[in-house]
Amino acid sequence: MTTPAGWYDDGSGTLRWWDGQQWTAHVRTEPQPSAPAEPAAPEPPAKEPTPQETTAQIAPESIAPVAAEPVAPVEAVTPSRVAAEPQPFVPPYAIPAQVGYPGAASAPTYPAASVPGYPGAATHLPSPAPARKVSVLGIIGLAVAVLGVVLACVPPVAAIGWVVLGLGFVTSLVSLFLRGAKWPGITGMGVTVFGTVLALGVALLTLGIDSTVEADPVPIATPSERPPVDDSTEGTTDPSEIEGAEMVPFADLAVGDCIPLVEYDPEEEIFEVPVVPCDQPHTDEVYFIYQLDDGDYPGDDAIYELAWDGCAAQFEGFVGLPYEESEFDIYNYTPTKASWSRMDDRTVHCIIYSYEDVTTSLRGTAR
């Protein structure tokens, strides 16, 4: 059973409001009983006047009768009466007396905010973790690894790139054992592994391309249409069958080299020609070599026209007669489209041709 709401003594002599559940901040001062009046000091007894003085001082007509006031009887206080009077309410618990200045109003109290936690454990907010510094050595290793990947993928400097990749890997690995953030070192090691695989693929691809080029060399020249030969002059289709002949690439041909008769297919692309000493039977001789102008490949027909004009202009200077008056004829070897674009070949070889085998140079024969 709960105590009903009301004003009760809180144990400190102050009346406080009880709301039925707990004490409130509302108080009221209980009126104090007035102190009993002190009995007046007894006056000295007055001197009784003599009959003569009374008669002389007080006139008979001034004396009026005075009614006596009734006196209430004083009720005696007995123990049974004290027990019958209501006693002040004693609450289930008393709050400590508030200390303050006399006459100051008491401030209301609010329940303290509670923070959940384990019983008996001190409650506090966790402090933020300090930020970790970035490892300078790890950043250097990452940068070196990126540089190594770039260099290793460039064939001319691939060897330097492999060395730089190794340095980047070692630097990144060492940074993992130092204080600071570990992500630069881990990233640097990952970049080196990726770069190694990528550079290895590029190296294999480059090696495969080089092998293909060596297995299938670029045609160097295409012979122009050659004048028909006499029936008395028989050519061979296999230059290796010519006795004393040496196969010479076009890049090594020089003016004055003598070439035996070889019957080539007009559509055949030639990489090298047989060269014999000029005192052995032969029909052809190199009499002029020059370079065409740079630029895009002009086409097969344009190349033929340029080569023919250039060779015809130098014929008289080598033989000693104009081309129209000579018994000899000419043809040429010109660059192919592949050698023009892939090898920057611009060389034209001018060949003077005899319809019969000769055993000497055709230079200055004036025939």
- Beta-carbon contacts of 347 under 8 Å, excluding residues fewer than 6 positions away, are 221, 250, 251, 289, 290, 291, 292, 335
- Beta-carbon contacts of 144 under 8 Å, excluding residues fewer than 6 positions away, are 164, 167, 168, 171, 188
For the chain, the maximum distance between any two Cα atoms, rounded to a whole number of angstroms, is 216
Distance (Å, whole) CA 188 – CA 168: 7
Structure token digits, residue 195: 């770069």
pLDDT on residue 167: 92
Look up the pTM and report it.
0.41
pLDDT on residue 155: 86
User: In whole angstroms, how far apart are CA 44 and each of 41, 47, 338?
Assistant: 9, 9, 161
pLDDT on residue 170: 93
H or E segment to which residue 317 belongs: helix 315-319
DSSP states of 93-135:
S-PPPPP--TTPPPPPP-PPP-----TTPPP-PPPPPPPPPBP
- What is residue 258's three-state secondary structure? strand
pLDDT on residue 236: 58
* 185 and 141 Cβ atoms separated by less than 8 Å: yes
pLDDT tens by residue, the chain, 367 residues: 678 888 888 877 788 888 888 888 888 765 655 555 555 555 555 555 555 544 444 444 444 444 445 555 545 445 545 445 555 555 555 554 444 444 444 545 444 444 454 555 445 555 666 667 888 888 998 999 999 999 998 888 888 989 999 999 999 999 999 888 888 889 989 999 999 999 888 888 888 776 555 444 444 555 555 555 554 445 555 666 777 788 888 888 899 999 888 776 666 677 788 899 999 998 899 999 999 988 889 888 898 899 999 999 999 999 999 999 999 999 888 888 888 988 888 889 999 989 999 999 999 888 8
pLDDT on residue 54: 44
Q: What is the DSSP letter of 293?
A: P
pLDDT on residue 89: 54
